[in-house]
Structure 1
């Protein structure tokens, strides 16, 4: 439990978030104790970054599980420590108000509060993000996109805002804009293997709307992005699943395509020629073998292979089941 206390609940499974939420009572009890009068209390200062990270993570976990009373206690402690005027605390307070809102009217009140704060200080980027998230949750994605566009104009290196903007564009079917946004993300975080894989997924989805040489070009780029993700993280399951799916479609295209389509490239714009059939076959075989190993060893719970969720393993197994190629063990 000590390790998971420092992992943001957004990166944990529902079961782990529930366990963290249930741990809140024990954690609160551990923080209560007798105190010496000031200034002797300075000698017993328990201040640490880990302590407040734990408070925030429990706050997020309890909100996620609906334990609003525990979330309020965490928020009070954080507010007492960092002050009501702290930008991050203001955003957490807004998050709490959103989670505890009983109807649309109360959500609108939260929105008005965000508007007031931004009129007073337009540079409250955390509040801007909360406002965009609220707009998205109430079914106003176009307004949320507008807010995030303004945010990235003011803060072009905010990878989180670019990533959220990419998701919103993708939900609207605007894959070209979504790809552009994620390209900005990988410029800011070039070693984020999950972002390379997500970019590859968006390129792949956009390729389904294309035909001929343009589709081949997009599929090739998607494959390269998936390759980059597993180059950065050798055990990244999502990257191998994407590589398997992308190379599978590329094999069909390359084996049945016309020669004029298979040589589409434009060196003046930096376009690369499509990969050779032999290279795609090798990558497909690599993805198949690696997925088979991950599914086999992950399902068995072998040490060092137990970090995959059952849902991920099931998805990988389904991808393998659709393929008739025999895995060499």
Structure 2
């Protein structure tokens, strides 16, 4: 049995690099459309590679960073189709996307409640733990964030 994981955070922390990558969204996303994610179609589709999925994850972060929410959502959907909604990293990326498009503090509190619910069901979901800590801090609850970080 092999374990599959989505790639980690993007190496494109430089805004110029992020913008350059985000501009490639259509071509990167078109590469993933020829890949089937369900059996038996997986036998007939183009072969996939870890590098392709790393590129899609990097593109997700770059698109969020540059404000291209539509392309970021498409990347997230591709990753969700490939790795499943229950993949810890995909869950963390989904949370990050929801935080990025949240319109007000009430929406952020709802996301925090969702994080808490996920952590009750899966207390070792590291990406959600990290997102929760970052969100608590961004909501101005530094003491709670410090305690959560210490527990982490």
TM-score, shorter chain, exceeding 0.5: yes
**TM-score scaled to structure 2, two decimals?**
0.84
Cα–Cα, structure 1 residues 33 and 145, in superposed 2: closer, same or farther, change >3 Å? same
Report deviation, 1:138.
2.1
Specify every segment of 5 or more residues in structure 2 that has no aligned partner in the other structure, as ranges: 1-6
How far residue 137 of structure 1 moved from its aligned partner, in angstroms, is 1.8
Counterpart CA distance in 2 for 1:24 and 1:105 is: 31
Bigger relative contact order, structure 1 or 2 (CA pairs below 8 A, ≥6 apart)? 2
| Distance in 1 between residues matched to 2:41 and 2:32, nearest whole Å | 18
Instruction: Report which of the two structures shows the higher radius of gyration computed on alpha carbons.
Output: 1
Cα pair distance change 1:141/1:28, threshold 3 Å:
same
Aligned-pair CA distance for 1:142: 1.8
Aligned to 1:70: 71
- Report how far residue 88 of structure 1 moved: 1.0
How far off its partner does 1:40 sit? 6.7
- Runs of 4+ displaced beyond 4 Å: 38-41
What TM-score do you get using the length of structure 1 for normalisation?
0.41
Alpha-carbon distance between aligned partners in 1 of 2:82 and 2:107, rounded to the nearest angstrom:
27
* Shift in CA distance, 11/141, structure 1 to aligned 2, threshold 3 Å: farther
Contact 1:9 1:17 survives alignment (8 Å): no
The 5 A counterparts of 1:189-208 are none
Cα–Cα, structure 1 residues 15 and 40, in superposed 2: closer, same or farther, change >3 Å? closer
Cα distance, 1:131 vs. partner? 0.3
Partners of 1:60 and 1:71 within 8 A in 2: yes
Measured in 2, the distance between the counterparts of 1:47 and 1:96 equals 25
Partner of 2:17 in structure 1?
16
In 2, the alpha carbon distance for the partners of 1:115 and 1:105 equals 15
Consecutive unaligned residues in structure 1, runs of 5 or more: 1-5, 152-329
Change (3 A) 1:146 1:32: same
What CA deviation, in whole Å up to 9, does each residue of 1:195-245 have, x standing for no partner? xxxxxxxxxxxxxxxxxxxxxxxxxxxxxxxxxxxxxxxxxxxxxxxxxxx
Q: CA deviation at 1:7?
A: 9.8
